[in-house]
Amino acid sequence: MGGRGHPGRGTPWLGAGTLSWREAAVSRSPEGNAFTPGPHASLLALTQPAVPGAEQILTPDALAFVTELERRFGARRRALLATRLERRARFRQGELPDFLPDTLEVREAPWRVAPAPADLDDRRVEITGPVERKMMINALNSGAKVFMADFEDALSPSWENVVAGQENCIAAIRRTLTYDSPEGKAYRLNPDLATLVIRPRGWHLVEKHALLDGEPVSGSLFDFGLYFFHNAHELLRRGSGPYFYLPKLESHHEARLWNDVFCFAQEALGLPQGTIRATVLIETILAAFEMEEILFELKDHAAGLNAGRWDYIFSVLKNFGHRPEFLLPDRAAVTMAVPFMRCYTDMLVRACHRRGAHAIGGMAAYIPSRKDKAANERAMMKVREDKGREASNGFDGSWVAHPDLVPVARACFDAVLGDRPNQKERLREEVHPSRQGLLNVAIPGAQVTEHGVRTNIRVALEYVENWLDGRGAVGIDNLMEDSATAEISRTQLQQWLRQGAPLAEGGVLTRERYAVLAQEELAALEAAGHGGLRLAEASALLERLVHEAVPEEFLTLGAYRYLTTWSAPPPKRPGPRAPRTGARDPQGRALLFPFIRSWGGRFRTCNLPVNSRALCQLSYTPRLLPVSLSRTNTPSLPRLESKTTRRTRAGRWRLGDEHAGYARPASRRFEFRLLSRLARRVSMGGRGYSSAPPPVKGVRSGSGRREGMMSPSVLRPPPGHGTLADPAPPDPRPTSRRARRPPPAGPFA
């Protein structure tokens, strides 16, 4: 029983006595998924306190499995991300993508993917949604054939949401998922459920709360590893299997990495190769040139391709939005019927059916209205038209965002499929892959309008505000929005501003005109009941993104810095030290200010609690990120036992007469001494940021300083959030003649 066993023959036991896992850091026992760290293993370091469900999800065995995934595949992931950036730089120099000559043999060879499992063969209607308890129950009960539970675009990846999502998936598979609403309504699972498919985060995202050797692990491997470890055997026992959607792929090399992850994971847990099945979202224009290569790389694990329409449009804008010929009109005008989108979807159906894979259509994001029956019927007609076109074009299924749309979409596919589970026999041989068809994005008659500009501003602001507050799927204007639509909104605004897009109402979109529209939309949201810290953060983030010369890779990368608090653990101190409580927002979360410093023009940020006496922010521009909220009770900074901080705690601050609640240190030299000391002790807030700054130059004795240096200040909280509550009492020990004076009144008194 100690042999390794063939992956396809039975269930092998990877016994520690015969298969050395010293370098793998984990080993499996015959009882199930019982992994134990090897003698040279180091598990993940979790930087957040325990949250509900953590004891079930974040077990030592599960973390050992994720650790091994990161050790084996993390470097390859980072190399592929670097390749993305290099390729994008070439596009900005004038290069355009094309079909790969090196893989011509793959495209012309006669091969097919593995047959689909029984519960993944009929996919005529698929519903999507976040891994939130109530929405999962409604989706699983909706009557759809498949439910895609989303850890990516539809999830705000706070630590609580990520752990709760894994817990909900475990409960859903074991049929124990329940929810009781505050109104007293009980939600329970029906006997007949949709097949569960999981979408982990894309390769570009990390999980900052799980560190390996001081670096955050891949969000993709974290989501996949925990779900697969806890549920793979249980799914097989129930007649299903571990099924996945793979997002944001840009090349067949990235699909090859996923395939290698699958092969290792199945071998490690003693499952036959091919147990995992994955459907790839073709949601980047670069992946559209490599669809058959992507299927070939996954082959035994491939289940199909999906037309991810919103992210596809975003990919076009991100990679080629700097070129005048790629100027796109209002988002509402870029439908699946326009030429370049029709070319992309026709090629997808052809590639899938040639290789025996499912072709899944795009999203119907409409949320039915029970108040306006006329508007509801008009929207339903559009859904029927969209799904009817997909069914007649050869798709085997399609996506909807709301349970009420399931019967509408199902009727469209029933009319074409009848009793057949799919229409893979329809090969679409009349379709020929065309580089020109994919790259010609002209839409005759379509324009950029002021209404389109306002819509993009409002959608981006409202969605990011909700995302920062923990909600990844948001209903806006009767449409279910996720991060993909927010990405389109901000990249279109950036493109229109950069190119000075002409507006249908006359004139062009200038920075000044955009600023007026943005302020009006922001005021409208505040009047509608939005506002506070999250809306201020969303506004600051959007302001920075739309004025960038080169679009940021993903909006969620910048927003993730607001959502999380990632700091190094405090240094060890002798004896217990009680945590200090700082200011709180109305929900009881600790209020933080970002500490921003500049050395040689580069800006680095980290979050500091407002109750620290050493809070400073270099005044530079309103576009800098203003305020962050920690989502947990973040401990204060370690008390710095130095002459500078003793003076600070003793109250060596003075209030500016013209600014109530606005404090400045007493001298310029003191300011930079304070900055230097803090910067050496505070962990900076992002990968690659150094915790030790270069030496400060140009500081003279006395109160003078070199011309051009920026003065620190302490910012007040935004309006509506009160003053800084419960400040730490000043140190009563006098340290100087000035310190013996009574401290001034104010929030920092």
Residue with token string 């796109």? 328
Cβ 306 vs Cβ 146: under 8 Å: no
Query: Residue 199 and residue 220: Cα distance in Å, rounded?
Result: 9
Query: Residue 725 and residue 702: Cα distance in Å, rounded?
Result: 33
Given this model, what pLDDT does residue 33 score? 54
Given this model, what pLDDT does residue 203 score? 98
Query: Residue 4 and residue 23: Cα distance in Å, rounded?
Result: 17
The DSSP secondary structure of 199-245, one letter per residue, reads EPPPTT-EEEEEEETTEEEEHHHHHHHHHHHHHHHHHHHTT---EEE
Contacts of 191 (CB under 8 A, 6+ apart): none
Q: How many helices (H) and strands (E) does the chain have?
A: 21, 24
User: Measured on CA atoms in the order 493, 498, 499, 502, is the torsion positive or negative?
Assistant: positive
CA 225 → CA 22, 49, 63, 214, 234, distances in Å?
A: 19, 21, 9, 19, 15
Query: Residue 126 and residue 358: Cα distance in Å, rounded?
Result: 12
Query: Residue 338 and residue 46: Cα distance in Å, rounded?
Result: 47
Candidates 122, 93, 106; CA nearest to 255 is 106
Q: Which two tokens stand for residue 219?
A: 């969000």
Residue with token string 């592929």? 80
SS (H, E, C) 677-698: HHHHHCCCCCCCCCCCCCCCCC
- The secondary element (H helix, E strand) that includes residue 168 is helix 159-173
3-state SS assignment for residue 258: helix
- 732 exposure class (CB count in 10 Å sphere: 0-12, 13-18, 19+): exposed
Query: Residue 225 and residue 35: Cα distance in Å, rounded?
Result: 13
Strands 712-713 and 617-618, how do they pair? Answer: antiparallel
Candidates 279, 288, 255, 245; CA nearest to 98 is 288
Query: Residue 391 and residue 383: Cα distance in Å, rounded?
Result: 12
Candidates 100, 102, 166; CA nearest to 130 is 166
Cβ 718 vs Cβ 532: under 8 Å: yes
3-state helix, strand, coil in the chain (%, to 5): 40, 15, 45
Q: Which two tokens stand for residue 529?
A: 């009941």
At residue 481, φ and ψ (nearest 5 deg) are -100, 145
Given this model, what pLDDT does residue 371 score? 80
Angle CA 199–341–457, to nearest 5: 70
Cβ 606 vs Cβ 683: under 8 Å: yes
Given this model, what pLDDT does residue 368 score? 87
What letter represents residue 551's amino acid? P
Query: Residue 674 and residue 613: Cα distance in Å, rounded?
Result: 10
Given this model, what pLDDT does residue 747 score? 35
Candidates 642, 630, 546, 545; CA nearest to 583 is 630
Candidates 294, 222, 221, 278; CA nearest to 246 is 278
Candidates 693, 648, 638, 692; CA nearest to 670 is 648
Cβ 722 vs Cβ 610: under 8 Å: no
At residue 681, φ and ψ (nearest 5 deg) are -110, -15
**Active site amino acids:** 199, 482
Cβ 109 vs Cβ 354: under 8 Å: no
Q: What is the pTM of this model?
A: 0.74
Cβ 348 vs Cβ 358: under 8 Å: no
Q: Which two tokens stand for residue 277?
A: 């099945």
Question: Around Cβ 442, how many Cβ atoms within 10 Å?
Answer: 13
CA 605 → CA 254, 608, 685, distances in Å?
A: 32, 10, 6
Given this model, what pLDDT does residue 564 score? 66
DSSP β-bridge partners for residue 654: 664
At residue 342, φ and ψ (nearest 5 deg) are -65, -40
Strands 591-599 and 479-481, how do they pair? Answer: unpaired
Query: Residue 628 and residue 609: Cα distance in Å, rounded?
Result: 10
Q: How far apart are the first and last CA of the chain?
A: 72
Query: Residue 595 and residue 591: Cα distance in Å, rounded?
Result: 13
Residue with token string 């009557």? 143
CA dihedral in degrees (623, 529, 559, 543; nearest 10)? -30
Strands 35-37 and 712-713, how do they pair? Answer: unpaired
What letter represents residue 436's amino acid? Q
For 381-487, strand residue ranges (E) read 397-400, 474-476, 479-481
Angle CA 741–701–650, to nearest 5: 25
Q: Which two tokens stand for residue 562?
A: 């607001």
For 310-410, strand residue ranges (E) read 358-364, 397-400
Cβ 41 vs Cβ 67: under 8 Å: yes
User: Measured on CA atoms in the order 723, 724, 728, 730, is the torsion positive or negative?
Assistant: negative
Candidates 430, 431, 425, 385; CA nearest to 408 is 385
pLDDT averages per 10-residue partition of the chain, 749 residues: 31 26 35 47 79 92 96 97 97 97 96 97 97 97 98 95 97 97 95 97 96 95 98 98 98 98 98 98 98 98 95 96 96 92 97 98 89 86 94 97 96 97 97 96 94 97 94 91 93 96 96 96 93 89 93 91 55 42 43 34 36 31 28 33 34 30 35 41 36 39 36 36 39 46 41
Question: Around Cβ 191, how many Cβ atoms within 10 Å?
Answer: 6
Contacts of 62 (CB under 8 A, 6+ apart): 33, 35, 225, 226, 229, 230
Strands 474-476 and 479-481, how do they pair? Answer: antiparallel
Name the DSSP class of 118.
G
